Amino acid sequence: MLGIQPKQAILNEYAKYAHLLTCHIHTPKVPPPMARKVENADAFQQLINEYHERAYTVRLPDVTDITAQLSEFTRALEMVFEKPVGVVIFWSQAGAAAPVHHDEIDVIVLQITGSKRWFISQEPATLPNTWKGIGEGPPPLGAYSTYDVEPGDLLYVPRGTAHTVQSTSESIHLSIGFVPVTVRDSLNAVLDHLSDFDKTLRTDVGLRADNVASGQASQTIFEQVRLGLKKLSEQCQSDEFILQAMAKRRSRMIYELPKLKPNKNIASIHLKSKVKHTPLSIAQLIATPDILDWRQPKEQILIHPGAEQALRFILAKQEFTVVDIPGELGDDVKVALVMRFLSNGFLQIVE
């Protein structure tokens, strides 16, 4: 995931990560060094050494795009789980340990170099929300199992599982975090869907404070909430309503992902040109009676309903020739459509 020289792959990104470093330690005895900008890879290594000399594990946040293969793996997870995926690198010296804790996200651990020993609670995962609970302190580890991981090993830790970890040698591992779609997410999705066409759900809660007593305002809130829940319950008797809501939720998720990199040299496209999806391509197509809504990372394209068959072909077919696009489209329209998706990074030319 980090190439054949993982350490160098990290150090080469000094300009991007050196000033963003964070750290952890089981029992701090001295404060950690300050993250700062550095001039080159050697200076980045020296900064990391300063953390290690004080027994801190170094944490590099948001490294999803540090290598192409890692970006492609996380994109695959995003397609499966229909949620954004984040990646953090942990770099430790032998003997470094973490405090007992649990994460609010599911974590896939990929051991890159060195070895670590994980102590993982045997209690069922509590599946917490992604925010800290009020008054929540460190969890007890209780009865636990021990796992020794080495390069190439994968460890899955469900959210809300108490654990700690100790490096048994110098170690680098990836922590790939995500939360699959939950029941709460689905309830939010159907509520969002209902509010798209029910204006009462978009009105302000309560009444104006300058013309009603506070007790009356509170009563209005109670009535609004109960009426909204009643409407939602009625709509959710329809399977189609729920399916539409979940499709919209996925569409919004895709739109929030980082923008795809556009292709520049597309002038030579013709009917016999062969194209394919770029490695990070992901999109959602929702058809309405009036328009086709295509969503990909940071881009929305609205297209005439007559192109639906062509768009569904482009979305489903990993590799194709322009002339093979189906539907009642002219050849010039097929070429123009492919050029549009080449220019926004969804497609690339097959050399």
For 324, other C-beta atoms within 10 Å of its C-beta total 11
Residue 206: per-residue pLDDT: 81
Structure tokens at 6: 């993982």
Residue 226: per-residue pLDDT: 95
d(CA 23, CA 28): 11
Residue 265 has pLDDT above 90, yes or no: no
d(CA 184, CA 113): 38
d(CA 147, CA 341): 46
Residues 12-35 have a mean pLDDT of: 96
Residues 87-101 have a mean pLDDT of: 96
H, E, C per residue of 22-69 = EEECCCCCCCCCCCCCCCCHHHHHHHHHHHHHCCCEEEECCCCCCCHH
d(CA 241, CA 276): 33
d(CA 202, CA 228): 10
Structure tokens at 333: 């329209």
pTM of structure: 0.90
Residue 215 has pLDDT above 80, yes or no: no
Residue 350: per-residue pLDDT: 93
For 65, other C-beta atoms within 10 Å of its C-beta total 14
Residue 137: per-residue pLDDT: 85
Residue 208 has pLDDT above 80, yes or no: no
Residue 220: per-residue pLDDT: 85
Residue 181: per-residue pLDDT: 97
d(CA 315, CA 308): 10
CATH class of the domain comprising 274-349: alpha beta
Residues 231-250 have a mean pLDDT of: 97
Contact (CB, 8 A) for 63 and 87: yes
Q: Domain 6-178 maps to which CATH number in 3.50.50.60, 2.60.120.650, 3.20.20.70, 1.10.1040.10?
A: 2.60.120.650
Distances (CA, A) of 76 to 71, 295, 319: 9, 17, 17
Structure tokens at 125: 């995962």
From 34-38, 59-63, 198-202, 212-216, the region with the lowest mean pLDDT: 212-216
The residue type at 198: D
Q: What percent of the chain has pLDDT over 90?
A: 89
Beta strands in 53-114 (DSSP E): 57-60, 86-92, 106-113
Domain ranges of the chain: 6-178, 183-254, 274-349
d(CA 154, CA 170): 18
Residue 213 has pLDDT above 90, yes or no: no
Q: pLDDT by residue (tens digit) across 175-184?
A: 999 999 999 9
Q: pLDDT by residue (tens digit) across 112-140?
A: 999 999 999 999 999 999 888 888 888 99
d(CA 103, CA 159): 5
Residue 229 has pLDDT above 80, yes or no: yes
Dihedrals phi, psi of 42, to nearest 5 degrees: -65, -40
